[in-house]
C-alpha cells in the first residue's frame, strides 16, 4: 500500500507544471471557440490530467536500478486468463463462516491487486462517459486501449530503457482494467444528473466574453514578454558572436525592444501579439483609438514606474549601508518612499484582480484601457 501512496505523492509533486503544459492547448482551443474559458471545463480537464498522471506513475514506479533488472529471473508475462481468481481461491485466507478472517482477506495481496486494477480505470471510464459523451462500447474500447498501453509499457521495459520487463505483462490486468472502465461508465450515468451539463459550462464561459479581467490582460502580457525575451536572447547570442553588434546583449536593449514591441502596434491602431491572442485592443476611456503618445506613456507609467521604484529601493538600501549620517537618512527616506509606492501599486493590482471593473492608476493617468477586440 505504501508503494501506491508514494506513487500518488510523486504525481502530486509533478502535477502543477505538467498539467498546466498539457492543458494549454485545450484552453487555447476553447478560448478561441467560445471567446472565453469555462472554469468547470478547466477543472475537469485538470482532474483528468491528474488522474492520467497518477495512473501512469502507478504502473511504472518505483523505478529499479538497471543492474537489478538485468538479474531478474521472474516471468515476463502471463497469458492465462483468470489467474487472479485461482490465486484468490488458493492463497486468500477468506472463510465466509469465520468473520475474523474477513479483514485479513481484504488486506491480502490476492485481493488488493485485483481491486487496484479495477479501481485504476474507473475514473477513466467515468470521464469518457460524462465529459466526452462516449457510448458504453467506446468506453470499453477506450479503456482496453489504455490498459494495453500500460501493459506494453511494462512489457517493453519502459520503452527499452531496461534490458527486460521489471513488471509482469498480465492478461488479467487487461480484463480487470476494462471492467473498471465499464464500472466507471455506469457510475457516471448515475451521477450525471447532478453534474454541470455542457450547456451550463459553456454558458459560464459566454458570460465572460465581455469581461476584460486582469488574468486575461496578464496572459497577453506574459505572451508578449516571452516573445521579447526569446527574440532578445537570440539577438544577444548574435551580438556575442559579432563584435560590432555587442550592444544587442546589453540590458538596455531589452527594455528598448520591449518598449517598441509593446507601443508600436497600438500607435498604429493594432494590438500586440499577446493582445491578439487574448482578443484585446488598447483604446481611450471613451472607446476611441488611442493617440500616438498614449501607448508610450502607458508603458512608461505602467511598467517603467515599478522598475524605477525597485531600482530606487536597491539604491536606498545601498545608501543605508554607506558611511555618514546624511546618506543613512536619505537612504532610509528613499527606502520608505519606495516601499510605500510599491505597496500602492501592488494594492492596485490586487484590487484589479478581485474587482474586474476597477480602473488601475496608470490607466487613469494615461486615459487608456484594454477592450475586447471585435
Q: What is each CA distance from 282 to 140, 208, 359, in whole angstroms? A: 50, 19, 14
* Predicted local confidence at residue 19, as pLDDT: 66
pLDDT tens digits for range 257-275:
877 888 788 888 788 888 8
Residue 192: exposed, middle, or buried by beta-carbon count in 10 A (0-12, 13-18, 19+)?
A: middle
pLDDT tens digits for range 118-172:
999 999 999 999 999 999 999 999 999 999 999 999 999 999 999 999 999 999 9
pLDDT tens digits for range 320-368:
555 444 555 555 566 677 667 777 777 777 777 777 677 888 888 888 8
- Judge whether residue 285 has pLDDT over 90: no
What phi, psi does 77 have (nearest 5°)?
-155, 160
Residue tagged 501599486 (cell numbers): 345
Q: Are 187 and 122 in contact (CB under 8 A)?
A: yes
The mean pLDDT of the chain is 81
* Predicted local confidence at residue 20, as pLDDT: 66
For the whole model, what pTM was predicted?
Answer: 0.63
Query: For the stretch 52-68, what's the b/e string if a residue is b when 16 or more beta carbons lie within 10 angstroms of its beta carbon?
Result: bbbbbbbbeeeeeeeee
Q: Are 245 and 239 in contact (CB under 8 A)?
A: yes
d(CA 298, CA 279): 19
Q: Are 352 and 358 in contact (CB under 8 A)?
A: yes
pLDDT class of 15 with cuts at 50, 70, 90: low
Cα radius of gyration (the chain): 30
Q: Are 357 and 351 in contact (CB under 8 A)?
A: no
Q: What share of the chain is helix, strand, coil (3-state, %, to 5)?
A: 75, 5, 20
Amino acid at each position: 500500500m505504501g508503494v501506491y501512496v508514494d506513487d500518488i505523492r510523486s504525481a502530486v509533486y509533478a502535477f502543477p507544471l505538467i498539467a498546466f503544459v498539457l492543458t494549454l492547448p485545450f484552453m487555447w482551443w476553447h478560448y478561441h471557440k467560445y471567446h472565453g474559458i469555462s472554469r468547470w471545463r478547466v477543472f475537469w480537464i485538470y482532474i483528468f490530467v491528474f488522474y492520467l498522471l497518477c495512473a501512469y506513475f502507478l504502473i511504472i514506479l518505483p523505478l529499479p536500478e538497471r543492474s537489478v533488472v538485468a538479474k531478474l529471473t521472474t516471468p515476463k508475462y502471463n497469458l492465462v486468463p483468470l489467474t487472479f481468481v485461482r490465486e484468490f481461491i488458493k492463497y486468500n485466507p477468506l472463510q465466509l463462516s469465520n468473520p475474523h478472517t474477513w479483514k485479513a482477506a481484504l488486506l491480502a495481496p490476492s485481493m488488493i491487486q485485483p481491486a487496484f486494477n479495477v479501481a485504476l480505470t474507473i475514473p477513466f471510464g467515468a470521464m469518457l462517459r460524462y465529459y466526452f459523451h462516449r457510448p458504453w462500447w467506446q468506453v470499453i474500447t477506450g479503456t482496453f486501449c489504455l490498459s494495453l498501453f500500460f501493459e506494453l509499457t511494462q512489457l517493453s521495459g519502459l520503452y527499452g530503457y531496461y534490458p527486460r520487463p521489471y513488471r509482469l505483462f498480465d492478461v488479467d490486468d487487461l480484463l480487470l482494467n476494462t471492467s473498471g472502465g465499464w464500472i466507471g461508465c455506469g457510475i457516471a450515468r448515475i451521477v450525471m444528473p447532478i453534474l454541470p451539463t455542457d450547456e451550463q459550462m459553456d454558458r459560464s464561459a459566454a458570460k465572460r466574453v465581455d469581461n476584460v479581467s486582469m488574468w486575461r490582460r496578464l496572459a497577453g502580457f506574459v505572451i508578449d514578454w516571452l516573445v521579447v525575451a526569446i527574440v532578445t536572447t537570440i539577438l544577444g547570442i548574435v551580438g556575442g558572436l559579432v563584435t560590432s553588434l555587442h550592444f544587442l546583449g546589453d540590458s538596455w536593449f531589452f527594455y528598448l525592444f520591449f518598449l517598441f514591441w509593446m507601443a508600436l502596434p497600438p500607435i498604429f491602431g493594432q494590438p500586440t501579439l499577446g493582445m491578439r491572442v487574448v482578443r484585446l485592443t488598447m483604446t481611450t476611456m471613451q472607446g476611441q483609438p488611442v493617440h500616438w503618445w498614449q501607448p508610450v506613456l502607458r508603458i512608461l507609467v505602467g511598467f517603467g514606474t515599478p522598475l524605477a521604484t525597485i531600482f530606487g529601493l536597491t539604491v536606498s538600501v545601498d545608501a543605508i549601508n554607506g558611511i555618514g549620517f546624511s546618506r543613512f537618512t536619505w537612504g532610509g527616506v528613499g527606502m520608505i518612499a519606495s516601499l510605500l509606492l510599491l505597496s500602492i501599486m501592488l494594492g492596485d493590482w490586487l484590487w484589479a484582480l478581485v474587482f474586474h471593473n476597477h480602473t488601475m492608476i496608470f490607466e487613469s493617468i494615461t486615459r487608456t484601457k484594454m477592450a475586447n477586440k471585435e
